[in-house]
Amino acid sequence: MLVDFNTLPEESRVWIYQANRSFTEEEISEIKEKLDTFIENWTAHGSDLQSGYTIEYKRFIVIALNQNLNKATGCSIDASVRFIQDLEQTYNVDLMDKMNVSYKQGEFVAHKSLLDFKKMAKDRAISKNTIVFNNLVSNIAEFKENWEVPASESWHSRFIK
């Protein structure tokens, strides 16, 4: 059951998929249609899952699930992964690689491999104040408070001296 992302409870579980490139406006429009259809039909053992999504910075797909009503099951999580993998193939984009880092460079969102990010930290091309995206947040409350943070306040801090 599709609901507005902003109406879901703070403790709703989130999954964040970061793209290795920005989506075009046309792609975003198509992806929103596909997300609407997927979430409207997303179930766990035949029960609707109250879910919503947001697309941030033309690069991040965030799906949230109100687990107070129904929890995601192995099958429903598998279905969402297949859906994301289909988006990857359709749009020739990488959404599942957790070994990539996104961070802000002024108004822009940059995307680097973890290896490149570590090298940039070593070379002081980024600092503890660089705004990074912590895609390990687990619920909407954490998403609002701790997703977009200075590197010093994220797991990224281990790379920055």
User: pLDDT (tens digit, 0 to 9) for every residue of the chain, 161 residues total?
Assistant: 999 999 999 999 999 999 999 999 999 999 999 999 999 999 878 778 899 999 999 999 999 999 988 888 888 889 999 999 999 999 999 999 888 999 998 889 999 999 999 999 889 899 999 999 999 999 999 999 999 999 999 888 888 87
Q: What angle do CA 124, 102, 154 make, to 5 degrees?
A: 70
pLDDT at position 57? 96
pLDDT at position 156? 87
pLDDT at position 99? 85
Residue 57 CB contacts under 8 Å (≥ 6 apart), including other chains: 22, 109
| Closest alpha carbon to 106 in 128, 131, 78 | 131
Give, for 116, the enclosing helix (H) or strand (E).
Answer: helix 114-122
- pTM, whole model, 2 decimals? 0.93
Domains of the chain plus CATH, in order, are: 5-91 (3.30.1360), 100-159 (no CATH)
Q: What are phi and psi of 48, to 5 degrees?
A: -60, 145
Taking the chain, what is the end-to-end CA distance rounded to the nearest angstrom?
46
| Closest alpha carbon to 117 in 133, 103, 96, 135 | 103
Q: What are phi and psi of 118, to 5 degrees?
A: -60, -45
Alpha helices in 2-105 (DSSP H): 25-41, 74-91
Q: How many Å apart are CA 150 and CA 143, to the nearest integer?
A: 14
